[in-house]
């Protein structure tokens, strides 16, 4: 039988590399939120009866915390006769456990260990509807990610140097493929390459030690999983394997890098997402990457947040923020090219990336950065410095309570009304901003450098007008009530939307009611006037029927759903007029009944919706 337990504190990477010693050890004194392991060795007779432990041995352990919470974790094969259950105690005190297995000698084993207290903030979770917090002490989490998709295959010295440099730049999320960019090599013949995963263990733990969360992508597209693991049980075992190895670490899950072109992508992601939800008792945040938006998958019950890809623009993000009570993360602001721009690389300059960063912020999104050039020497690029300036600025705000704000002309804004207003002026010029009537400090920040200029005189009133210090580049305006912010800074509680008497009673954010009554919608769908085609782009346009100050500035979002396909909607366009083409993956059989939706958001943030039924033809 040979049950052994090896403690693996997060602070000791060497211990993970070496594995357990021959002596019996325990998880005793493992700090809270640090992983430790229960290691099981198959006997010679058990190994003979189960020659393929990865596919044949079932192992899970139920852990009961000092507060009597149950954490059920699957075990994973770690090579040879070795099976492991990795756990992160999230409370100090005595933990009890019970083993469940199809290995008779293990099934029903019970034990206990004592976890030590820790100052770790915990794992991250969705909070305040559109924002993030840590699980301990309600501390807010300011998500700022970086794409290093192939980090698992990097040279070790280069990986560590890059991780150190990006941590110094304040990046706290690192996004990459769990199976690397050559997934078959990590999972040859349908079973894990143990050396690959032990190396990945080391890297994720190293990132965690630097305060970086690993955003793990399961596959480039859902079809990759279907091809590698053709059967449902194979896919289930693979997903449980990843959850077993990494749920005890500080991670988030992304089902795919994008899914829209796979005809069965939504169903496969739901299948794998629900297994992740079941297998990860720590409930690390789950989503899928997307070419445009993963919001169509939110109704499937497995995602915690929505994500945007390189095909998204401000209209999609701004409008969907008003539709869904979930956090939003932009996974691809654009790829900065730190060398001479190569058109085939789709690189962008630092100014373009900075504009996208701040516009995404005004949409209520958290950002993810990427540099086309990989290596420590490119972590001090203008784009990376602008990301650090963003993080430093936002860290000094009540960022976890900011929401898009619309009483502004000449810029775009987020605000915690009555306390602080942040306005992004991409094209400097005259600015008007309506605020609650108080006295505010006026601060102008250069988003390229983070340098700030505070005006000598405070602003008193409810209608701010002014211009940035110059018109040479974009600017960020910060209006803030200093006394109010300082008093609120004494607490990070997420129920802190206070009443007029500053009584800390919860005032939950309410999603707006979308206006769908055609008689009250100030526009109409002018085109298309005929069925949609898979092979021909058709014109679209909207006609404004009620001219008001609010309708002079509109954002538009056109979506299409084939009602019988189960694929969810796809974003077709975000303009007032143009041409769009129906995605080939949207409809299974033709002709197909379809529902075209047009969302329009006016300058006041009010969202209207029109629907139009039709057919998709060849």
What pLDDT score was predicted for residue 150?
Answer: 93
Q: Tell me how crowded residue 407 is: count the other CB atoms within 10 A of its CB.
A: 17
- The pLDDT of residue 523 is 97
Least confident stretch, 135-139, 209-213, 342-346, 520-524: 342-346
pLDDT of the residue at 19: 31
Asked if residue 192 has pLDDT above 70, the reply is yes
pLDDT confidence of residue 343: 52
pLDDT of residue 586: 87
pLDDT over threshold 60, residue 501: no
Q: What is the pLDDT of residue 366?
A: 98
SS3 for 158?
helix
Confidence band for 375, pLDDT divided at 50, 70 and 90: confident
Spatial contact of 572 and 595, defined as CB atoms under 8 Å apart: no
- What mean pLDDT comes out for the span 516-543? 94
Residue 124: inside a domain, yes or no?
A: no
Is 411 domain-assigned? yes
Residues 104 and 173 in one domain: no
**pLDDT reported for residue 504:** 40
Given a contact cutoff of 8 angstroms between Cβ atoms, the answer to whether 512 and 326 are in contact is: no
Q: What's the mean pLDDT when you consider all of the chain? A: 90
- Find the range with the poorest average confidence among 103-107, 248-252, 495-499: 495-499
| Of 328, 262, 241, the residue nearest 57 (C-alpha) | 241
- Within a domain: residue 518? no
Q: Is the pLDDT assigned to residue 1 strictly greater than 70?
A: no
Query: What percent of the chain stands above pLDDT 90?
Result: 82
377 lies in some domain: yes
pLDDT at 485: 62
Domain range for 591 is 523-617
Q: For the segment 5-63, what is each residue's pLDDT rounded down to a tens digit?
A: 333 333 332 233 333 332 234 699 999 999 999 999 999 999 999 999 999 999 999 99
Segment 401-415 mean pLDDT? 97
Q: How far apart are CA 335 and CA 348, in angstroms?
A: 6
Residue 297's region, left for phi above 0, alpha for psi from -120 to 50, else beta, is alpha
Per-residue pLDDT tens over the stretch 534-580? 889 999 999 999 999 999 999 999 999 998 888 889 999 999 999 99
> What's residue 4's pLDDT?
37
User: pLDDT value at position 486?
Assistant: 60
Q: 104 and 188, same structural domain?
A: no
Are 378 and 410 found together in one domain? no
Q: Which of 359, 385, 411 is the last residue of a domain?
A: 385
Look at strands 538-544 and 475-480 and give their pairing: unpaired
Q: What is the pLDDT of residue 514?
A: 96
Average pLDDT over residues 184-204: 95
Final residue before a domain boundary, out of 326, 354, 385:
385
Q: Say if 500 falls within a structural domain.
A: no
CA distance 611 to 559: 10
CB 131 within 8 A of CB 399: yes
Residue 136 lies in a domain: no
Instruction: Judge whether residue 323 has pLDDT over 90.
Output: yes
Instruction: Please report which residue ranges of 310-458 form alpha helices under DSSP H.
Output: 314-321, 350-362, 382-395
500 vs 458, higher pLDDT: 458
Both 159 and 27 in one domain: the answer is no
Looking up residue 180, the CATH number of its domain turns out to be 3.20.20.80
| Pick from 112-116, 335-339, 392-396: least confident | 335-339
Counted domains in the chain: 4
For residue 583, what is the domain's CATH number?
A: 2.60.40.10
Question: Which of the 8 DSSP states describes residue 512?
Answer: P
Across residues 114-137, what is the average pLDDT? 94
Specify the CATH number for the domain of residue 482: 2.60.40
Cα dist from 224 to 221, 256, 286, 310, 504, whole Å? 6, 9, 19, 20, 49
- The residues, ordered by sequence, that sit 6+ positions from 51 with a Cβ below 8 Å of its Cβ are none
243-294 pLDDT, tens digit each: 999 999 999 999 999 999 998 899 999 999 999 999 999 999 999 999 999 9
Kindly report, residue by residue over 409-439, the tens digit of the pLDDT.
Answer: 999 999 999 999 999 999 999 999 999 999 9
Contact 112, 96 (CB under 8 A): yes
What is the average per-residue pLDDT within 174-186? 94
């Amino acid at each position: 039988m040979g049950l052994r337990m090896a403690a693996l504190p997060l602070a000791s990477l060497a211990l993970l590399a070496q594995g357990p010693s021959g002596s019996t050890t325990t998880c005793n004194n493992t700090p809270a939120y640090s992983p430790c392991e229960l290691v099981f060795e198959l006997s010679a007779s058990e190994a003979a009866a189960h020659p393929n432990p990865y596919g044949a041995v079932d192992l899970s352990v139920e852990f009961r915390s000092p507060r009597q919470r149950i954490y059920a974790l699957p075990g994973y094969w770690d090579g040879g006769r070795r099976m492991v259950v990795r756990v992160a105690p999230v409370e100090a005190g005595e933990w009890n456990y019970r083993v469940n297995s199809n290995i008779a000698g293990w099934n029903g084993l019970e034990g206990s260990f004592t976890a030590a207290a820790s100052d770790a903030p915990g794992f991250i979770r969705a909070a305040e509807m559109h924002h993030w917090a840590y699980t301990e002490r309600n501390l807010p989490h300011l998500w700022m990610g970086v794409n290093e998709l192939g980090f698992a295959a990097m040279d070790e010295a280069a990986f560590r140097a890059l991780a150190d440099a990006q941590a110094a730049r304040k990046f706290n999320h690192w996004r990459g493929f769990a199976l690397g960019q050559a997934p078959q090599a990590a999972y040859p013949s349908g079973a894990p390459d143990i050396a690959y995963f032990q190396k990945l263990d080391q890297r994720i733990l190293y990132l965690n030690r630097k305060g970086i969360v690993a955003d793990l992508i399961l596959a480039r597209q859902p079809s990759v999983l279907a091809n590698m693991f053709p059967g449902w049980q194979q896919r289930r075992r693979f997903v449980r394997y990843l959850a077993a190895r990494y749920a005890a670490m500080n991670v988030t899950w992304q089902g795919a890098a994008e899914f829209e072109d796979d005809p069965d992508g939504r169903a496969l992601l739901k299948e794998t997402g629900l297994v992740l939800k079941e297998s990860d008792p720590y409930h690390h945040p789950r989503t899928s990457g997307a070419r445009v938006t993963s919001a169509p998958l939110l109704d499937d019950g497995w995602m915690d947040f929505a994500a945007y890809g390189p095909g998204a623009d401000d209209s999609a993000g701004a409008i969907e923020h008003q539709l869904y009570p979930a956090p939003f993360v932009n996974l691809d602001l654009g790829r900065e090219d730190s060398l001479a721009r190569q058109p085939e690389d789709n690189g962008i300059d630092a100014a373009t990336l900075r504009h996208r960063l701040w516009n995404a912020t005004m949409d209520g999104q958290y950002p993810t950065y990427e540099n086309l050039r990989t290596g420590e020497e490119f972590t001090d690029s203008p784009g990376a410095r602008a990301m650090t300036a963003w993080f430093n600025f936002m860290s000094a705000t009540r960022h976890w309570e900011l929401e898009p704000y619309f009483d502004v002309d000449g810029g775009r804004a987020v605000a915690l009304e009555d306390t602080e207003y942040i306005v992004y002026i991409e094209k400097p010029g005259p600015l008007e901003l309506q605020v609650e009537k108080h006295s505010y400090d006026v601060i102008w920040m250069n988003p390229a450098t983070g340098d700030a200029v505070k005006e000598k005189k405070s602003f008193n009133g409810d209608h701010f007008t002014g211009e940035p210090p110059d018109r040479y580049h974009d600017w960020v305006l910060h209006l803030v009530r200093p006394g109010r912010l300082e008093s609120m800074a004494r607490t990070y509680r997420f129920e802190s939307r206070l009443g007029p008497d500053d009584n800390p009673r919860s005032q939950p954010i309410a999603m707006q009611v979308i206006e769908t009554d055609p008689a009250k919608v100030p526009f109409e769908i002018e085109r298309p006037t005929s069925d949609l085609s898979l092979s021909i782009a058709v014109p679209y346009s909207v006609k404004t029927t009620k001219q008001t100050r609010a309708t002079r500035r509109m954002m538009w979002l056109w979506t299409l759903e084939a009602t019988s396909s189960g694929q969810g909607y796809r974003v077709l366009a975000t303009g007032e007029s143009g041409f769009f083409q129906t995605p080939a993956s949207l409809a299974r059989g033709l002709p197909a009944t379809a529902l075209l939706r047009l969302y329009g958001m006016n300058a006041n943030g009010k969202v209207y919706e029109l629907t139009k039924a039709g057919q998709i033809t060849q």
